[in-house]
Amino acid sequence: MDSFSERILRELLPAEKEIVPPAGTRRRKDPAPHADHWSLAILLERAAYLSKLAKHSNGSASETLKEYPDHSTMLSFRGRDGVVELHENVADLFVVLDGRATLVTGGTVVGAETIGPGEIRGSSIESGTRQELRAGDVAHVPAGVPHQMLVPGEKTFTAFEVKIRENPRGAR
Confidence category of residue 170, pLDDT binned at 50, 70, 90: very low
For residue 96, is pLDDT > 70? yes
Other beta carbons less than 10 A from residue 61's beta carbon: 20
Residues 164 and 24: their CA atoms lie apart, in Å, by 19
Instruction: Tell me 151's DSSP state.
Output: -
Q: Rounded to the nearest 5 degrees, what angle is found at the Cα of 22, between the Cα atoms of 46 and 102?
A: 50
Angle 3-12/40-55 helices, nearest 10 degrees?
Answer: 140
Q: Which CATH superfamily is domain 3-27+34-165 in?
A: Jelly Rolls (2.60.120.10)
Query: What's the predicted TM-score (pTM) here?
Result: 0.77
Return the SS3 of 21: coil
What number is the average pLDDT over the span 147-162? 96
Phi, psi of 86 (to 5 degrees): -140, 115
| 46 neighbors 160 (Cβ within 8 angstroms) | no
Q: pLDDT above 90 covers what percent of the chain? A: 74
In tens, the pLDDT along 117-143 reads 999 999 999 999 999 999 999 999 999
Confidence category of residue 172, pLDDT binned at 50, 70, 90: very low
Q: Select from 58, 109, 104 the least CA-distant residue to 86.
A: 109
Residues 134 and 102: their CA atoms lie apart, in Å, by 9
**12-44 burial by CB neighbour count: b if 16+ within 10 A, else e?**
eeeeeeeebeeeeeeeeeeeeeeeeeeeeeebe
* Type of residue found at 93: L
What number is the average pLDDT over the span 50-64? 93
DSSP 100-150: EEEEEESSEEET-EEEETTEEEESEEES-EEEEEETT-EEEE-TT--EEEE
For residue 14, is pLDDT > 80? no
